[in-house]
A and B are shown apart, each in its own frame.
Chain A
Amino acid sequence: MHCLIETVRRGEISKAKDIDTERLSLGRGADQDIRLQSRLAGLSHAIIEQGNDGKLRIRAIASNRVLHNGRKLAESVLTPGDEFSIGNVCFTVREAPETYSLRLEIREPAGRSGKELEDALLASCDPDSGRKGFSMRRATWTLSLAILILFFLTPLAGFVYKPFGVWLRTVPVLSDLSWNSGPISSAHSFFATDCNRCHEQAFVSVRDSVCTDCHKDTPHHFAEGFRNVDALESNHCATCHKEHNGSHNPALIRHDESLCASCHENIKTTAPDTRLADVSDFGDGHPEFKATITTFTDDKSKSVRIPLDQKDRLQERTNIEFSHAVHLKKDGIKSPDRGNVRLDCANCHQPEPGGKYMAKLDFESQCHECHKLNFDIHDPKLELPHGDDHSIQTFLDGYYADRALKDDYRLLSEPPVAQERHRPGEALPPLEHMEPKEWVTKYVRDVDSEIMRFRVCGKCHTVSLNQESNQGGNQLQFWKVEPVGFSAHRFPKADFNHDKHKTQDCTDCHDAEKSEHSEDVLLKGIASCRECHSGIGTRARDKVASTCIDCHGFHISRSLAMDGKKLNLPAKAESFSGIKLPSAGNNVNPGSVVP
């Protein structure tokens, strides 16, 4: 192997040497073909030799290494243009002239050998020496850009191009779901992954129309006349109904009283024309309840609301005579069949299905067992029909006409014609027909008057002369039962649930045991509620904290919807009409017999 070794100093070839050898040895030792001055070179550091394939190879001896083209190697192929170094001596492989196998250029640095060692030590201090280490700047940029792309630009692209956005939502994290500020409430969970169902435009808060698209005909808070109440008109659905607060989100329907009290504490400020009283807290800032009192006359009812503390006005004319005190006597009340029976509230008052309200009362289920409608001593089991004056009169007409036809006067005073003897089968002369007929009419009138005023009907009902029957020159006087009615809901503007209070005694709220008249309104008032309930503001720890929304609704208008449309909701039933009562069924406890 014929080698041309050139030593370069200050850019010029200072020395050239021809060497002809099989293996060109490089090292610090005196016996080396190329002697290296570097302190970091071994005495015999490396050799260059030509392989069978004609390629030149440099091979470091034992654990020595050569820095070849920037990499520390034990062995590598040399081609013209390659650079390698041993210690601080640098070699460049040049294109060899024709007669040479190798042309090597050597550059030896000037300077102390101790400096070389020191430089090597200093290089070993630097963590980045010889390799690409961790770069803080690169890490910063990588991390920041990754977050920017993954959590902003990608969801943004999905928002701009909707099909991409829809696809993105099938990929975890990447979509605009990563902007979700909290879980959707369970009520809205069926479209929880469709952000744009509510968030239609960027940087525009959720519009009311989005809500009313589904929540059609949601009643407004007030009737149309109050529309311009700024406190409500300036707010949106989302002002009160806060989403993204968890699947069982208490804020979706706000229960705190501060929301209501912000207006109702000083309601005149918000709505100067209102007749509502100020309310701030159930415990100490709520007026006495107003009970609905209904007056029934001629099938028409008229309701007024009277505070429960105005006892003198608190009378409801029900047109029925009933004493709770008598019926609830501790030693029982006499029954026609079972002796003394002790009654309690539940014998008559039963809850409706669902338990919220009490069922309507009716005669057949609640009264009839004791209050028989028999009217004639000779037919003690025969009873009058209940519920219709006209039917009673027709019934009496028929009954006594039948008796007259059958000549069955018994102990009654017969008409004179009936006292005369006739041959069997002989018809009465026409004039004589009139006598029994008149007798029946007169007798029925007497019985009607008696049962209506004193005995059967009149025992419980308010009765009056039927003016219509006396018109047209007919001098017969018939009586009629005045229509019976009760207020269906004493507090139609509140939401009371009997079922939730079934652990309490009825008498905790209803003063029934002392009531002798059906006109009495048997409600004790707010004080009895406050024995168990308090507001939030009063912070009574030993009571049930009750906020406005526990009893009152917000969306209560019956004429105006939230979206401004007119509503035509039927008014709540204010009264039970006694005349058209359906049967309450046989679910009534007959009461216990007093031994």
Chain B
Amino acid sequence: MYGSILNYGQYRYLKQATALVFIALLLYLSAAPGEPANGGTWQGYTLGIISAALILFLLWFGIRKRQYHCTKTSLDRWASAHVYLGISLPVVVSLHSALQFGWNIHTLAYALMVIVVLSGFYGLYAYLSFPPLVTSIRNGISRGEMITAIARLDETSLTLAENLGAEAHHKVLREVVETRLGGTLWQQAIMGARLPVLPLLQWKLAGSFVASEQSALAVDALSPKDFLSKYLRKSQSTAEINQVVELLKVLNERKSIISRVQRDIRYHDLMKCWLLLHIPIACALLVAVIIHVISVFFYW
């Protein structure tokens, strides 16, 4: 689908948006020489009406895409028109404003429009770039299936760890409990540093596997480096080593699936995050445009 947004109907809306920009330019250039170009000439008013109509049309896309029962025009067509007319909007609005800026509601509306369009550009980029990456990550498996697989591996690893003792269980449980697949945008941004690295085999300390508070605290306090040096110095029984190896295998597999799910969620969030800016500011833009129009005629 994403390809068809740009080339829908053999670039029909690219052509229409280009024509619109051309007409707007002609209007702008036809302004009388006696007066500097501004929004108050008849050309300025015309460009303003076109801009307002464009904004309403672009906002309507947010409603149209939720009208699932509507089949008269395809959503592809709407999206294509939304993209191209959205790109033409800053040109028409700039001509309407004649780039006369100041500390006022009119310039605020312009600035909001610019933010909405720029975020829209990012959205277009995201919709064109990330879906192929998501497809390659999922490799035919749904996210739900991957999460079920992780839960199964969690259970296996916890069972294996329980057999290895309280400290091992505590360590694995911490991994399970602290695993974050998604999170806020900020968490997503720092996700790279939070991928599970398995400083796991810290439970194998000298002494008994007593489920004591002290031993758990000691496990928490140890760095992976310290643990490994202690662990390697201790000789283990073959069965125990096999169990550890099995646990490591399970945890590694878990890690790879978690990584895939996290990237999947991350790409989806990156495809959605721009809407956090795009939609609230588009609505604020509508309010600002209404105030802009009212204020111009209020002090006519």
Contacts and interface: CB of A to CB of B under 8 A. Distances in A.
Contacts of A143: 280-281, 283-284
A205 interface: yes
A61 B173 CA distance: 13
Interface stretch (A125-133, A311-319, A364-372, A428-436): A125-133
A133 to B, nearest CB: 6
B-side interface size class: 35 or more
Contact of A181 (B40, B213, B280): B40
A458 interface: no
A258 B155 contact: no
Given A31-B211, A62-B219, A125-B181, A204 B280 contact: no
Contacts of B188: 127
B287 A199 contact: no
B272 to A, nearest CB: 10
A103 to B, nearest CB: 25
A75 to B, nearest CB: 12
A177 B107 CA distance: 13
Contacts of A126: 182
Interface string A180-224: 111100000000000100010011111000000000000000000
Contact of A195 (B152, B174, B299): B299
Nearest to B144: A122
Contacts of A416: none
A144 B287 contact: yes
Contacts of B298: 159, 179, 199, 202-203
Contact of A43 (B211, B220, B265, B296): B211
A326 interface: no
A127 B268 CA distance: 12
Contact of A151 (B158, B176, B288): B288
A114 B151 contact: yes
Interface string B161-192: 01000100110011011011111110110000
20 contacts: A28-B169, A40-B177, A42-B170, A44-B166, A117-B155, A120-B177, A139-B276, A140-B279, A140-B283, A143-B283, A144-B280, A155-B295, A172-B103, A179-B104, A181-B100, A181-B106, A199-B300, A205-B300, A245-B35, A254-B34
Interface string A105-133: 00000000111011011101111100101
A66 to B, nearest CB: 12
B204 to A, nearest CB: 16
A127 B291 contact: no
Contacts of A204: 300
Interface size class of A (residues with CB under 8 A): 35 or more
Contacts of A180: 102, 104
Contacts of A206: 300
A147 interface: yes
The B interface is mostly helix, strand or loop, or mixed, namely helix
Nearest to A251: B35
Contacts of A202: 298-299
Contacts of A336: none
A255 interface: yes
A147 B108 contact: yes
A481 interface: no
Nearest to A113: B155
B275 interface: yes
A159 B294 CA distance: 14
A507 interface: no
Contacts of A120: 176-177
Contacts of B148: 118
A148 B147 CA distance: 45
Contacts of A125: 147, 181-182, 261, 265
A340 interface: no
Greatest chain A CB density within 10 A among B169, B174, B220 is at B169
Contacts of A115: 151
Contacts of B187: 127
Given A43-B162, A43-B211, A178 B299 contact: no
A81 interface: no
Given A122-B147, A144-B284, A179 B35 contact: no
B103 A173 contact: yes
Nearest to B219: A62
B65 to A, nearest CB: 15
Contact of B212 (A44, A63, A140): A44
Contacts of A176: 295, 299
A246 B179 contact: no
Which of B102, B148, B151, B294 is packed against the most chain A CB atoms within 10 Å?
Answer: B151
B155 A114 contact: yes
A62 B170 contact: yes
Contact of A148 (B104, B158, B184, B287): B287
Contacts of B32: 256, 258
Contact of B36 (A155, A159, A250): A250
B217 interface: yes
Contacts of B36: 245-246, 249-251
B217 A62 contact: yes
